[in-house]
Amino acid sequence: MEEKHVVITGAGSGLGASLALKYSEMGYHVTLLGRTYSKLRYLADKMTSDNVSLYTIDVSSAEEVQKVFSEIKEESGDIDILVNNAGVGIFGDAEDITTDAVDQMIDINLKGTIFCTQAVLPQMKKRNEGTIIQVISTAGLEGKPTEAVYCASKYGQRGFTESISKELADTDIHILSAYMGGMKTSFWDDIYTKEEIEHLMDPDDVADIILANVKARKNLTVPDIVIKNHIPKSN
């Protein structure tokens, strides 16, 4: 059986790391992309397989994305699955969000998704197969206080994804949008208390749900999944 190849952005921690470990266990060649090499190296060393590649990347740079993805294809072959997981959130009242913070969220969350998707679509269209997993968050489904700009970037991801899904409707390229609530990751360290973070979803559980829904099935596709935190009220 031909070896499958998955590329994951924002792979250094959280959901990206969980998906990377699970894909590695499934026998995939896993390409880890992130901003910090030491985090990628640490994750790669945890894998039971050495069938892994590491690249540092700034997904907000179209030129760098094209360069890195060309290197990936040359060294590891065609990409079967792309997971657009890289993201950043900077929260506060709308009028207090700095220009730099606006740029970061739009550049990484929205432009990064667009640039990485553009980088894989030509090869997927040529083969008429492939899967793209867009990690969007429930911030792409509804507005939230203190998250105005973050939501704007996520709504942009959603609009881009829904549009390319329609463009690809007559192909065997599948798009899965994952809308999830907060998870137990460092993403929330400056927002929630340690106790509050403990009540959030485990990224391993979210990764399992994504993998169960992205699995190829005859005459069936799952375009969207919504995964929310459930915190029972105390008696």
Q: Is residue 234 part of a domain?
A: no
Q: Is residue 164 part of a domain?
A: yes
Q: Is residue 235 part of a domain?
A: no
**Do 161 and 136 touch, CB atoms closer than 8 A?**
yes
Region label for 213, one of left (φ > 0), alpha (ψ between -120 and 50) or beta (otherwise): alpha
CA 189, CA 191: separation in Å to the nearest integer?
6
Q: Is residue 232 part of a domain?
A: no
Catalytic: which of 28, 55, 150, 179?
Answer: 150
Other beta carbons within 10 angstroms of residue 14's beta carbon come to: 21
Q: Is residue 46 part of a domain?
A: yes
Q: H helices of the chain, where?
A: 14-25, 37-46, 62-76, 99-105, 112-127, 148-167, 194-198, 203-214
Which helix (DSSP H) or strand (DSSP E) does residue 86 occupy? none
Q: Is residue 75 part of a domain?
A: yes
* Residue 150: active-site member: yes
CATH (domain of 216): 3.40.50.720
> Tell me, what's the pLDDT at 215?
81
Look at the chain and report how many structural domains it folds into: 1
Going from the first residue of the chain to its last (235 residues), give the mean pLDDT of each consecutive group of 10, the final group possibly shorter.
90 95 96 97 93 97 98 97 96 96 98 98 97 95 94 98 95 94 63 63 89 79 82 57
In the chain, the percentage of residues whose pLDDT exceeds 70 is 88
Token pair listed for 4: 């499958």
Range of the domain at 158: 5-227
**Do 28 and 53 touch, CB atoms closer than 8 A?**
no
Q: What is the pTM of this model?
A: 0.91
Q: Which DSSP category does 200 fall into?
A: S
Q: Is residue 233 part of a domain?
A: no
Q: Is residue 182 part of a domain?
A: yes
The per-residue pLDDT for range 174-211, each reduced to its tens digit, is 999 999 877 656 665 556 556 665 667 788 989 999 99
Q: 168: which residues sit within 8 A by CB, 6+ positions away?
A: 175
